[in-house]
Amino acid sequence: MTGLYELVWRVLHALLCLHRTLTYWLRVRFGTWNWLWRRCCRAASAAVLAPLVFTLRKPPAVGRNRRQHRHPRGGPGLGAPHPQLRWRADGRSLKKLPVHMGLVITEEEQETSFSDIASLVVWCMAVGISYISVYDHQGIFKRNNSRLMDEILKQQQELLGLDCSKYSTEFANSNDKDDQVLNCQSAVKVLSPEDGKADIVRAAQEFCQLVAQQQQKSTDLDVHMLDSLLSASGFPDPDVVLKFGPVESTLGFLPWHIRLTEIISLPSHLNIRYEDFFSALRQYAACEQRLGK
């Protein structure tokens, strides 16, 4: 067996020497064809090796193991239109868009996420909602109002990019004496359980002053009068409330203002996707259409 290997080796060595000798003779014989010879050799090598390269190339992964490049927080992948263009088109596609949306979080304190709530607020702004209220029954967001507002501004930059300048925002703090809403595209208010009760107390006090000044009679108090007193803050009544969490209650969120409000329940605000948010908007629009509003 060893002799056979040695014979094969000698034959291959002799062929290599013959190849070198023939190549040298051709170069000397046809010196002007040297450049053409090199080009032909390279072309032949490329023709032989190209199929081998494509054969050895690793095919892309398919199925559940394939990595998808997605825009953060539910945006489109590569090759898709920029997210704010999609959000703007989504808002125009709805037959009815809420003017005022409430975001009510009924989850426990350790389950609150400022970044996820900020994303929800920015999505509201992007689709064209003018007034957004953020509420939790423990007052976490109101106690950390500045942190939430900073997160909203940060999410504006990340999600809207250069387009964020088109979405001017006013942060209306319900503790301010002058709580009038400025003429801007979106207004955000952070609320806690005291706000709904405090508004009713303030409205009652104003009505009592009007009666004392003989500008109103005690018998004038009705639904429309209370509505006018409670709407003095500039925020209209919420059209729809997105309630997050397992509790089947709004836990004191603006008790008078939501008597005609559509309430849509979602499991959690944590890691919420834009698709879930827009699905709730479609549900609201379909409900309003059925009611003929």
- The number of CA neighbours under 13 Å toward the Cβ of 280 is 26
Extract the tokens encoding 194. 């005291």
Question: Domain 83-193+236-286 is classified in which CATH homologous superfamily?
Answer: Decaprenyl diphosphate synthase-like (3.40.1180.10)
CB count in 10 Å sphere of residue 238: 27
Whole-angstrom distance, CA of residue 285 vs CA of residue 262: 10
Q: What is the pLDDT of residue 120?
A: 95
Q: What is the pLDDT of residue 2?
A: 66
> Tokens 């494509």 appear where?
54
Extract the tokens encoding 102. 């409430």
Q: What is the pLDDT of residue 68?
A: 42
Whole-angstrom distance, CA of residue 41 vs CA of residue 221: 100
Extract the tokens encoding 134. 């953020």
Q: Are 273 and 74 in contact (CB under 8 A)?
A: yes
C-alpha dihedral, 224 to 134 to 107 to 146, nearest 10°: -140
Q: What is the pLDDT of residue 66?
A: 40
Q: What is the pLDDT of residue 1?
A: 64
> Tokens 């009592």 appear where?
208
Q: What is the pLDDT of residue 183?
A: 35
The domain locations on the chain are: 83-193+236-286
φ/ψ of 76, rounded to 5, equals -75, 165
Which residues in the chain land under pLDDT 70? 1-2, 5, 8-9, 13, 16, 19-84, 161-184, 231-234, 293
